[in-house]
Chains A and B, each alone.
Chain A
Amino acid sequence: MNGPSAETMGDIFTEGIFIDILSRLPAKSLIRFKRVSKGWRSLISDLISDPSFVKLHLQRLKARDLIPSQRIIIGSPCDNLLQTVDYETLDHGSEDPLVVVPHSIEVPCRKPCIVGSCDGLVCLLESGIFLICNPTTREYRELPVSDIPRDYELFCGFGYDPRSDDYKIVEGVVDYGNWENWEVARFSFKSGSWRRIQFPYQELIHQQVSLSGVYWNGALHWYVYDLISDKKSMIMSFDLSEERFHWELPVPEVDVGMTLVGLGIHGASLFIHSGNYGPRMEAWIMDEHGRGGGSWTKWFSIDCTSVNLETGVGNAPLTYTRSGKVVLRVNSDRMILFNPKNNSCKDYPIRRHDPFQHAIYLETLVSPYLGGETSRI
């Protein structure tokens, strides 16, 4: 092709550049643009419903510093109040109560469990029904139910399979009449259907598995522990591409009296943390190459008495701010920013009454329908 002529340049590339610029803006900004005029609303709606623009926007977001686009969503199966927290602004000395925004999502479920989050989509579960929502665009979608008989949800998780470019949900369930037999199923967004997965670890039935899986490195991870005997605890993982379970991540050695209780994500790594039943709460980070060759590095150690962190079941680290402070959930009513450099703590009340669950999510434009059926916005 010969070089484009000067007359046609104005029409051809101006649009491409304009879209390029828009693809670099935060999702919330783009959504706000809709309110400017009818023209903008039509342009933005077109872009948001174009899967290739959404993908470009997500790629650009992930290539940058994620922290400005990250939020925490908190909720509890005891009430129908879903809230979002812009935790980075907590670090900027903000006393602004708007930091914790009660986020009303118009969804059919009223008391959901938070299962997990991936690429800005948050997965919720209530009474055996999974709901996917994007808190930024406020789109939601109820998923079809699997046909496995169940009375009890053992574990579940939500993540992305890069090999098939598909989002997947995994759930492990049990039927009271058949307690010795755990069944596992996986839902694929592309196929829109569930399929049974072989679960090789039937010996787990006497151990505790954490309910919500953590998505990391293309797999879902659950912490498995036994509070009664001293069986060694492990991290069970499910590879979303191979659709197989792995039993491969050992946990760090801890001091006597310290109990590891849960997992989370630290940047691009997995972390594991202890509860604060004892005098200290600690956490470790797994390096990115966890498979087989990974090792744990200590992230932080908090002396609970010196920072007034009372013993509690629901205490857990959630994430970290850009300045390196640890964001912690404490009991049911507050968040704490802990500064490991000077061992100081700052409190932020949350105004809830029950222990809450959480997920860290990105503000993206990804649709729960992934460009498939028409979405409800």
Chain B
Amino acid sequence: MASSRKITLRSSDGESFEVEEAVAVESQTIKHMIEDDCADNAIPLPNVTSKILAKVIEYCKKHVDASKAEDRVNDEDLKAWDAAFIKVDQVDQATLFDLILAANYLNIKSLLDLTCQTVADMIKGNLFPVRNEWLNFTFSIANRELVLVCLTEWVAHRRLFCS
């Protein structure tokens, strides 16, 4: 078991979070920064706001605790915790998308799987008829970012599409 070294993470809006190293290295990105010796002072995370970073830390802490021998949580319970963590009324859609971007930037595979699957489940079944004005954009290869934004809008307004 690694020594409980504390790592400081700094969000884009300047807030500092002190976490145990074991929790911080759930993120492969942070793990590599620590290995590359960039972690003497606080690790800056310019792409992650404090609101999102707090949730990410909550997720990582739970998953690290769940695998500790003393507090061993079984798979079913952890899945239930994940479901509650990501539930739509706990997490609004903008936060959900920010969590996806953060999980991707910080390279936390299990969180990325959880958040992407959540979006996929929200899309599934809420399909057509879809009115074109909500997806009224010119799709171009350079503009894939626009597609993600419109997907958000569409998911947010999905009730309009149920006939």
Contacts and interface: CB of A to CB of B under 8 A. Distances in A.
Q: Does B bind A?
A: yes
Interface of A: 3, 6, 9-11, 13-18, 20-22, 24-26, 29, 32-33, 35-40, 42-43
| Tier of interface size on chain B | 20 to 34
The 3 closest A-B pairs by CB, nearest first: A39-B139, A24-B120, A15-B144
Nearest to B132: A37
Nearest to A46: B141
Contacts, number: 69
Contacts of A32: 127-128
B47 A9 contact: yes
B132 A11 contact: no
Contacts of A14: 144-145, 148
B104 A17 contact: yes
B116 A20 contact: yes
Contacts of B29: 3
Given A6-B47, A17-B148, A21-B116, A43 B124 contact: no
A26 B121 CA distance: 10
Contacts of A25: 120, 123-124
B130 A42 contact: no
Contacts of A9: 47, 105
Question: For the complex, would chain B's binding face be called helix, strand, loop or mixed by DSSP majority?
Answer: helix
B108 to A, nearest CB: 13
Contacts of A37: 132, 135, 139
Contact of B33 (A3, A16, A18, A36): A3
9 contacts: A10-B145, A11-B144, A14-B144, A17-B100, A18-B151, A21-B123, A32-B128, A35-B128, A36-B135
B36 to A, nearest CB: 9
B132 A36 contact: yes
B137 A39 contact: yes
A18 B138 contact: no
B129 to A, nearest CB: 9
B125 to A, nearest CB: 8
A13 B124 contact: no
Nearest to B154: A36
A46 B102 CA distance: 27
A36 B147 CA distance: 13
Contacts of B135: 36-37, 40
Contacts of A3: 29, 33
Contacts of B67: none
B120 A43 contact: no
A45 to B, nearest CB: 12
A20 B128 contact: no
A9 B100 CA distance: 13
Contacts of B147: 18, 39, 43
Nearest to A4: B105
